Amino acid sequence: MGGTALDIRPINAPLGAEIVGVDLTRVDNELFAEVRQAWLDHLVLVFREQKLTDNQQMEFSRRFGQLDEVPIVSVGQKPRDNKYISVVSNVIENGVPIGGLGDDEVFWHSDTSYREYPPSASVLYCLKVPNWGGDTGFSNMYLALETMAPALRRRIEGLTVKNDTTYTAGGQLRAGFQPINDLRKSPGAIHPIIRTHPETGRHALYLGRRLNSYLPGLEIEESERLLDELWAHATQSSLAWHHKWQVGDVVIWDNRCTMHRRDNFDPHSYRIMHRAQAQEPTRPYYDLTKPAEPHARGRAWARSQSLGLPLIGP
């Protein structure tokens, strides 16, 4: 990234970088082009000490693509004032949660993968942190595919995965849906399990969310076994990094080539986050004509680990 105006500090992990000295309310087109390139290179970006209104968060998020309506993540939460901002919190006011997901652990997933057009960018802003816990883990799905055993890679080549829309991110039944009895008949978008990133051209593993997912064309038992094997591989600690939040943090991740999860946290303290997301204009696809170029950042980290050295560049 030589000559960039950005102060980019790669995290010593398979993905992630902190961007220092940028006020997200004062980003012009030239600076944003560099931010976007850093996001493509590092998959997850951290900006500290930000002060954003909901409108400012929306305006910045819109730079990554069409501003996307964020789904309600928990049944029974307070009605939203803004369909483009999701409150993620365990705060309860007058007996009603102000947001979704409470204080439980949230398992590995890619945001709203059950939609035909999932989001490209998720933008999460921290307003309050609990006494302990609540860290967010991110996993590099380029590297997950690149480090997969060749035999397993051959088994999934050309397969698709159906992402069930029946349940919320918190595992609650959505209004108007019935419980799933047969995964083959569940509603939800079907996407390639290996997807080509439309901007980098690299291939990544794309699993979505484990709950009620299904590999069309396979018997349910075979689908379950293969998905369990893929999830075991994709959620290895060697592919991941966990962010410890501070008030004012804004974290942006690329849903097309990462998964993320949240640790549980102190239920006697509060955690408040606001999330926005941008939608890409194309459905996930797999282009076999694209070269299988490795993710340089992930490879650099793997090499640094093998040599016992810190990661000092992208």
pLDDT at 177: 76
Is the distance from CB of 118 to CB of 247 less than 8 angstroms?
Answer: no
Whether residue 8 is predicted with pLDDT greater than 60 in this model: the reply is yes
Whether residue 4 is predicted with pLDDT greater than 70 in this model: the reply is no
pLDDT at 306: 65
- For the chain, give every domain's residue range: 7-289
Whether residue 17 is predicted with pLDDT greater than 80 in this model: the reply is yes
pLDDT one-digit tens code per residue, 107-152: 899 998 999 999 999 999 999 999 999 999 999 999 999 999 999 9
pLDDT at 313: 46
pLDDT-wise least confident of 46-50, 80-84, 214-218, 288-292: 288-292
Whether residue 312 is predicted with pLDDT greater than 60 in this model: the reply is no
pLDDT at 2: 41
- Work out the pLDDT band at 301, boundaries 50, 70, 90: confident
Surface-to-core class of residue 80, CB atoms within 10 Å of its CB (0-12 exposed, 13-18 middle, 19+ buried): middle
Per DSSP, the three-state class of 311 is: coil
**DSSP letter string over 43-71?**
SEEEE-S----HHHHHHHHHTTSEEEPPP
pLDDT at 12: 92
Is the distance from CB of 113 to CB of 189 less than 8 angstroms?
Answer: yes
The residue-averaged pLDDT of 218-229 equals: 96
Give the mean pLDDT of the chain.
Answer: 88
pLDDT at 307: 58
Report the percentage of the chain scoring pLDDT > 90: 65
Residues 6+ apart with CB under 8 A from 2: none
- Work out the pLDDT band at 104, boundaries 50, 70, 90: low
CATH class as words, domain 7-289: alpha beta
Distance, CA of 138 to CA of 123 (rounded, Å): 14
pLDDT one-digit tens code per residue, 149-200: 999 999 999 999 999 887 776 677 677 777 777 888 888 899 999 999 999 9
pLDDT at 294: 77
Candidates 27, 55, 67; CA nearest to 277 is: 67
Whether residue 292 is predicted with pLDDT greater than 70 in this model: the reply is no
pLDDT at 74: 63
Is the distance from CB of 291 to CB of 197 less than 8 angstroms?
Answer: no
pLDDT at 198: 94
